[in-house]
A and B are shown apart, each in its own frame.
Chain A
Amino acid sequence: MPNMSLTKVPVPEQDAKVRSRNFEEVCLGYTREQAMEEATRCLNCKNKPCVGGCPVNIHIPEFIAKVAEGDFKAAYEIISDTNALPGVSGRVCPQESQCEKYCVRGIKGEPVAIGRLERFVADWYRENINEMPVKPESNGIRVAVVGSGPAGLTCASDLAKQGYQVTMFEAFHTAGGVLVYGIPEFRLPKAIVANEVEKLTAMGVDLETDMVVGKTYTIDEMFEEGYEAVFVGSGAGLPMFMGIEGETLAGVYSANEYLTRINLMKAYLNSYDTPIKKIKRAAIVGGGNVAMDAARCAMRMGAEHVYVVYRRGEEEMPARREEIHHAKEEGIEFLFLNNPVKILGDEKGCVWAMECIKMELGEPDASGRRRPIEVPGSEFELEVDAVIMSLGTSPNPLIRSTTPGLDINKKGCLIADEETMATTREGVYAGGDAVTGAATVILAMGAGKKAAEAMDKYLKEKHSK
């Protein structure tokens, strides 16, 4: 008999007052009893709309049925059959707009907590079994994966499973892309990412860090040296600025810089050498998940006031509802319908305030969202000693500018076929933010998966000739 409760089994969380000053994970995850109870809410319906909502098509009702039985190992095997990073996606996916959006139980009441269950299974496996995958028999064909973010990790994992000899090239000193430099520890513990990378290396994937493709090594050289196909998952790491006065003052950061210092370089821990400014009053400009991460990090780094300055209203914010909710609980102050005009500096060149102007919403624009319009004469000064620009990112030109034959669109994104992820250059595939511009972790994983399938097909055809 299914559990007909209209609401999800609540998940324990760290108290907002306590967690807003530490970097430990906010969501504590289900216990086995809670997970089993939630799992019984799944109706195991015939047409499984949830699966279609998942970019990597996890066999959702099947794994949930195993959770309900208490056979977590079997549940893990079902998930990992299609998903290379369950510990990650269970935590950072916007489930409300993917699998859970289509859950039948969500028509009346809350959908099944698919994300929390996936996370529970992945965590249970890591803590209780943590068996490293067996290295598949090699087919001797070498393939290269550029970038070790969610797209690259997924693509490398799927190719390695097929027996390809995969080398993954990463520019930073640690693999994981945005999972290590962008998303903070309190949302995604780095030990989980490291564990997923460890599984990849167990499968025979060769990880080469400190390799800036386009500088240290080029895609042409990869082909010359025997790689037969290349996947480019280099992301969209180039930060945007507003182009307003004062953006080069000391104390103005891109969210990428602020988050990289804290997350990758661990500036929040005393035993690491990378410095970070002690901020008293911070303004974060933007309304996406990255803005939420930056704001919540600033609070944890000891700021007294953290403002999120967003030019539209709360309804229009692209950030996940859960992140906005968490940020509010932690004391982040939201200034909706406000836009920076300029940043003001003192005689030493340091930020002391940001001039903002109030906005109101007009008619919907091309994106379908109501367009913000300045209210004349409404300028005011917001006193802050740091401004963190979180306006989005675009793909880095380094790879395309050093790889002949790789075409881009007018936004600087690599052009790739929607189904096969094949670029305009034979043997080169691309996916994730490098193709779409800044999007989500799970979409990047989906693209990495599709590309791996197409690369496998391409290489098999090539070798059968």
Chain B
Amino acid sequence: MVKIVRKKVLNPSVTLLEVEAPLIARKAQAGQFIILRVDEHGERIPLTIADYDREKGTVTIIFQKVGLTTELLGDLNEGDSIRDFVGPLGLPTELPEGAKRVCVVGGGVGCAIAYPQAKSLHAQGIGVDVIAGFRSKDIVILEEEFKAACDNLYITTDDGSYMEKGFVTDKLKSLIDAGNQYDAVIAIGPIPMMKFVSAVTKPYGIKTIVSLNPIMIDGTGMCGGCRVTVGGKMKFACVDGPDFDGHEVDFDELMSRNTVYRGEEAEEKQRHACRMDELAKEMIH
């Protein structure tokens, strides 16, 4: 059991939780993730470690409510507990040796994960530009945090309701074309966005690291549910990743694998209301 010490609603669908997990906080590095299970009947889901505080012994996660488990998680409050919280899992992000300037690209809730990357690189003295893309103004998150964690912040919205109109890929291409030299691009967000960012950088030969989000169960390499094809080879994202070379990843395959349970997930989500009753009962007992 881990206790929630802070909850912050970042936008109507995105929530931040800071939990007490000293052993994980002691080891966590940017790029790694945790697996959690909300309660006894819960499923195990992976979430990237958005931040950690070794002194306080806390780990922060940021998630979007997209289905039953994230809805249940979003309904928890400060002082509540999460049944299981396992980590840090996966390998930390590894930059090309001697990298001096990096562009971190975040899409939507992926910005939650792009943020600690930017923060950690910035703290190491590496030049960091951030492109944070959102559908519209009302879902923009972490703007202030980003400002403090990079040299240049570019925010884009698909509909132009805030800052620059357009996609992160347009912005990235224009920055590269304007002569910005990047030793690496780190892209974190929806699969199509990571796919298109990789397509933008490929002709320029810029090393592009993507953080993949396949379906996972154990997160320790014992089931292969999270397998992805990278450079023509089968990899388990939970132990070999979750970061991979974006120019080598088969994104289309990942997208189709991630839709396997769409029907079942819709059914599960409808059970949200009755699950809440069960939870309430458990808490009373």
Contacts and interface: CB of A to CB of B under 8 A. Distances in A.
Most B-side CB within 10 Å, residue of A210, A273, A350? A273
Interface string B250-264: 101100110111001
A172 B218 contact: yes
B89 interface: yes
Contacts of A217: 23
A215 B27 contact: yes
Interface residues of A, number: 41
Contacts of B261: 275, 277
B139 interface: no
Contacts of B23: 211, 216-217
A2 to B, nearest CB: 47
B206 interface: no
A260 B218 contact: yes
B176 to A, nearest CB: 32
A250 B263 CA distance: 14
B256 A265 contact: no
A171 B220 contact: yes
B84 interface: yes
A349 B223 CA distance: 20
Most A-side CB within 10 Å, residue of B87, B220, B257? B220
B27 A216 contact: yes
A273 B217 contact: no
Contacts of A212: 86-87, 89, 220
A237 B37 contact: no
A276 B267 CA distance: 12
B247 interface: no
B41 A215 contact: no
Interface in B220-255: 220-225, 227-229, 234, 239, 250, 252-253
Contact of A275 (B84, B89, B268): B268
B41 A272 contact: yes
Given A239-B224, A274-B43, A274-B44, A173 B84 contact: yes
A375 interface: no
Nearest to A347: B256
Interface in B199-225: 217-218, 220-225
B89 A250 contact: no
Given A273-B68, A275-B268, A257 B84 contact: no
B interface, size bucket: 35 or more
A268 B265 CA distance: 15
Given A212-B89, A274-B44, A171 B68 contact: no
A275 B43 CA distance: 8
A95 interface: no
Interface in A236-265: 237-239, 241, 243, 247-251, 253-254, 256-257, 260-261, 265
A398 interface: yes
Contacts of B227: 241, 247-248
Contacts of A253: 225
B42 interface: yes
B83 interface: yes
A209 interface: yes
Contacts of B128: none
Contact of A250 (B43, B88, B229, B257): B257
B29 to A, nearest CB: 11
A237 B222 contact: yes
A260 B238 CA distance: 16
B131 interface: no
Interface string B102-121: 00000000000000000000
Nearest to B214: A248
B43 A241 contact: no
Contacts of B222: 237-239, 256, 260, 396
Contacts of A171: 86, 218, 220
B156 interface: no
B185 interface: no
Interface string A213-233: 001110000000000000000
A210 B81 CA distance: 15
A171 B223 CA distance: 13
Nearest to A272: B41
B69 interface: yes
A273 B87 contact: no
B86 A350 contact: no
Contacts of A238: 221-222
A254 B236 CA distance: 12
Most A-side CB within 10 Å, residue of B85, B217, B261, B268? B217
B186 interface: no
A398 B221 contact: yes
Contacts of B239: 398
A465 interface: no
B241 to A, nearest CB: 14
Interface string A264-306: 0110000111111100000000000000000000000000000
A411 interface: no
A156 B265 CA distance: 40
A46 interface: no
A273 B223 contact: no
A254 B259 contact: no
Most B-side CB within 10 Å, residue of A216, A239, A275? A275
B24 interface: yes
13 contacts: A173-B44, A212-B86, A216-B23, A237-B222, A241-B234, A248-B228, A250-B259, A273-B41, A273-B69, A274-B44, A275-B264, A277-B261, A398-B221
Interface of B: 23-24, 27, 37, 41-44, 68-69, 83-89, 217-218, 220-225, 227-229, 234, 239, 250, 252-253, 256-257, 259-261, 264-265, 268, 275, 278
Interface of A: 171-173, 209-212, 215-217, 237-239, 241, 243, 247-251, 253-254, 256-257, 260-261, 265-266, 271-277, 348-350, 396-398
Given A216-B88, A271-B278, 11 more contacts: A173-B37, A173-B84, A211-B86, A212-B220, A215-B89, A239-B223, A248-B250, A251-B260, A272-B41, A273-B42, A350-B256
Closest 4 CB pairs of A and B: A349-B256, A275-B264, A237-B222, A257-B223
